[in-house]
Amino acid sequence: MSRIVLKAILGFVMRVLYRPTVEGVERIPETGPVILAGNHVTFIDSLFLSLVVKRPVYFIGKDSYVTGKGLKGRLMAWFFRSSGMIPVDRDGGRGGVAALMTGRRVLEEGHAFGIYPEGTRSPDGRLYRGRTGIARLTLMTGAPVVPFAMIGTDKVQPGGKGVPRIAKVTVRFGEPLEFSRYDGMDRDRYVLRAVTDEVMSDVMELSGQEYVDVYATKARAA
Eight-state DSSP code of residue 209: P
CB of 39 closer than 8 Å to CB of 128: no
Cα 153 to Cα 7, 42, 56, 198, distances in angstroms: 18, 6, 21, 24
State pTM to two decimals.
Answer: 0.89
Interior/surface letters 90-119, b for 16+ CB within 10 angstroms, e for the rest = beeeeeeeebbebbbebbeeebbbbbbbbb
* pLDDT in single tens digits along all 222 residues of the chain: 566 666 677 777 778 888 899 999 999 999 999 999 999 998 889 889 988 999 999 998 776 666 677 776 677 666 667 667 787 876 655 657 888 999 999 999 999 999 999 999 999 999 999 999 999 999 999 999 999 999 999 888 877 666 778 889 999 999 999 999 999 999 999 999 999 999 999 999 999 999 999 999 988 887
| pLDDT tens sequence across 83-113 | 677 878 766 556 578 889 999 999 999 999 9
> What is the CB neighbour count within 10 angstroms for residue 191?
18
Beta strands 145-151 and 170-173: pairing type? antiparallel
206, amino acid identity: L
Eight-state DSSP code of residue 164: P
163, amino acid identity: V
CB of 68 closer than 8 Å to CB of 77: yes
Closest CA to 37 of 155, 167, 173: 173
What's the pLDDT at 18? 85
